[in-house]
A = this chain, B = another copy of it.
Amino acid sequence: MTPQRRAVAEVLDGENVHLSAEAVHLAARRTLPEISLATVYNTLNELASMGEVKEVSAGGGPRLYDPNVDNPHHHLLCTSCGDLRDVPVEASGIELPVGPVPGQLDGFVLTGVDVTFRGVCPACAASVSV
């Protein structure tokens, strides 16, 4: 556990709006100014393969990193500014299949389901109408 990894982990910890690698880099620099972007990428990839963090691809932009891996949740993407936040499952009107998913899926071995709501956040809606 190096200072760099700790810095990256601290940035992610407790976030509910998900960050890009560059945003993580920026934030991590506040506590560790000499950390490099490559190290942030490497660390994020390690965290992802350890299952500490989940990579989510939002629209066409950069990959975002979601530290909330324990509570099942959906995502809410602002297609205007790219912000991606969590949505509690019970607020979404969608229920995930509880049991094993039906075999209709062509013999796939399923590992998960992602649900992403797309829309325009209040801030963007306001700035468009101005």
A interface vs B, CB < 8 Å? Answer: 55, 57-60, 63, 76, 78-79, 85, 87-88, 91-97, 101-102, 104-122, 125
Contact = CB atoms under 8 A, between A and B. Distances in A.
B113 A115 contact: yes
Oligomer: number of copies = 2
B106 A122 contact: yes
Contacts of A108: 76, 78, 117, 119-122
Given A93-B97, A93-B102, A102-B93, A109 B116 contact: no
A110 B105 contact: no
Contacts of A57: 57-60
A83 to B, nearest CB: 10
Given A91-B104, A106-B122, A114-B116, 20 more contacts: A57-B57, A57-B58, A91-B102, A91-B105, A92-B97, A93-B97, A93-B101, A94-B97, A101-B117, A107-B121, A107-B122, A109-B119, A109-B125, A110-B117, A111-B118, A111-B120, A113-B115, A113-B118, A114-B115, A116-B116
A78 to B, nearest CB: 7
14 contacts: A55-B60, A79-B111, A91-B102, A92-B101, A92-B105, A94-B95, A101-B117, A105-B119, A106-B122, A107-B122, A109-B125, A110-B118, A111-B120, A115-B115
